[in-house]
Structure 1
Amino acid sequence: MIVESTGVVPMEALGVRAAKFAALAEPARLRIVDLLALGDLSPTEVQSSLGMRSNLVAHHLRVLEQAGILSRSRSEADGRRSYVRLVPSAFDGLTPDPVRFSKRIVFVCTANSARSQMAEALWRRLSPLPVASAGSRPATEVNAAAVRSAARHGVRIPGKRPLSTAEVLQDDDFVIAVCDRAHEELSGRDDLHWSIPDPARTATDSAFDHAFRDLRLRIEGFVARLAAQPAS
């Protein structure tokens, strides 16, 4: 199951992130951050670049400093002059925490004939971590259109029969429902729900390709958030 991967109290971490997002939500402050990404500037130089009154520039710089996004230093040449710079780690905590799971990913759809089969095949391509798939009401065979769609994208779905959740699921699996019906039938047994429309409803190549691309984007995003797993 998902666990926090940081020692920071979750609500504290959310508060820090929220403050930074709030500071960045004003266009002028976002522009200041863009300028500082290239180099350090004095408040006067920021004012000149933005064409903004000095008191307003001072306000924006203060908000960014309070949010931990920038810092100030005195000029070694003219001590009356100051420079602002981005804090190197300012944006480290803006993305969601990495996630961990205990053993194996299992993708579940209704029939285990299309969406969950494509998801399983994609996962094998994108991650070395264990994976399986199952259906809440398994069909008798994998949908040939799903196999062809995966092949068009360079992914092979092996010719195995669809399996039921009763045959596949184990207590410590991380379950991702890739259809609405399976999510509702699992009644909280799944850990994540991805609402992927059933391509078999229209049975067109474009519907299966759309489902495949949607799954690929979601899996790529999920894999990117996985914390490093301990060596077995």
Structure 2
Amino acid sequence: MNTEQTDEHLRRRVTAHSALADVTRLRIVDLLAVSDRSASELGLTLGIASNLLAHHLRSLEHAGLVTRRRSEGDGRRSYLSLNAHDAWLLREAGAGTAQVRASRVVFVCTANTARSHLAAAAWRRVSDIPATSAGTHPGAAIHPGALAAAERHSLDLPDVAPRPLDDPVGRHDLVVTVCDRAHEELGGRDWAHWSIPDPVPAHTDLAFDEAYDSVVGRVERLADVVTDG
């Protein structure tokens, strides 16, 4: 056993547990367990002042539990998400959210050409609850990079035409946006939001593989809390 790695692991655990030893910070982590949120969205849900929220977010970021990235839509906004690399720490701390019932999960992005299709395909691999994908402004076809990434990872991704988001969506549908623009366009009509960078502009295998990895990790977390209903 490598003593240095063990000591570093222990230090990270101490730092994480110290950051989580606060009711408000635990609530923040629970809210971020299945959905990324902006600071203003967190503040509205928690009902706390912006300066106090900023203090708690700094503690979580310093501990490496929370990261933030600039919106690809409204560049004035940033989204906070749990650090997937420290998911084991969050499980150890009991982070999570209450069970939610859904008859179908609908993954939404702007063009419905990459991220939303990958998310729906990844969901079908881990859950029997039906899933589909849609776009707020659907493109002409699934991006070849998404199809290639699915093939590399043995993910069954049908080459179907992008489709528009039904308006309104079904009463028992669970809507999850996987791009910032769609989330901001829906204005709160989605149940959860995942701020996943668009791989299409980069048009590289690496960009699509990173989108795939992000989608799969989040789908697995979501599947833990969604029950058939």
Distance of aligned partners of 1:97 and 1:186 in 2 relative to their CA distance in 1, 3 Å threshold: closer
SS of aligned partner of 2:159: coil
Q: Give the TM-score of the pair, scaled to structure 1.
A: 0.57
For the 8 Å contact 1:122–1:216, the answer to whether it is kept is yes
Output one character per residue of 1:93-138: Cα deviation in whole Å (capped at 9) or x when no partner: 9343432123210000011010000001100111111111000000
Matched residue count:
143
CA distance in 2 between partners of 1:97 and 1:115 (Å): 24
Is 2:194 the counterpart of 1:219? no
Alignment match, 1:106: 106
Tell me the distance in 1 between the aligned counterparts of 2:184 and 2:162: 20
Ranges in structure 1 where 5+ consecutive residues have no aligned partner: 1-17, 24-90
Give the match for residue 117 of structure 2: 117
Q: Which residue of structure 2 lines up, in the alignment, with residue 22 of structure 1?
A: 21
Q: How does 1:83-232 map to 2 (within 5 A)?
A: 94-166=94-166, 169-226=169-226, 228-229=227-228
TM-score normalized with structure 2 length? 0.57
The amino acid that maps onto 1:22 is A
Q: Give every structure 1 segment of 4 or more consecutive aligned residues whose post-TM-superposition deviation is greater than 4 Å.
A: none
Contact in 1 for aligned 2:111/2:162 (Cα 8 Å): yes
Identity of aligned residues (%): 41
Higher strand share: 2
Q: Measure, in 2, the Cα distance between the counterparts of 1:115 and 1:92.
A: 29
Moved more, 98-107 or 164-173: 164-173
Aligned residues of 1:147 and 1:156 also touching (Cα < 8 A) = no
RMSD between aligned alpha carbons?
2.5
- In structure 2, relative to structure 1, the CA distance for the partners of 1:92 and 1:196 (3 Å cut) is closer
Specify the code of the residue in structure 2 equivalent to 1:170: G
Rg larger in 1 or in 2? 1
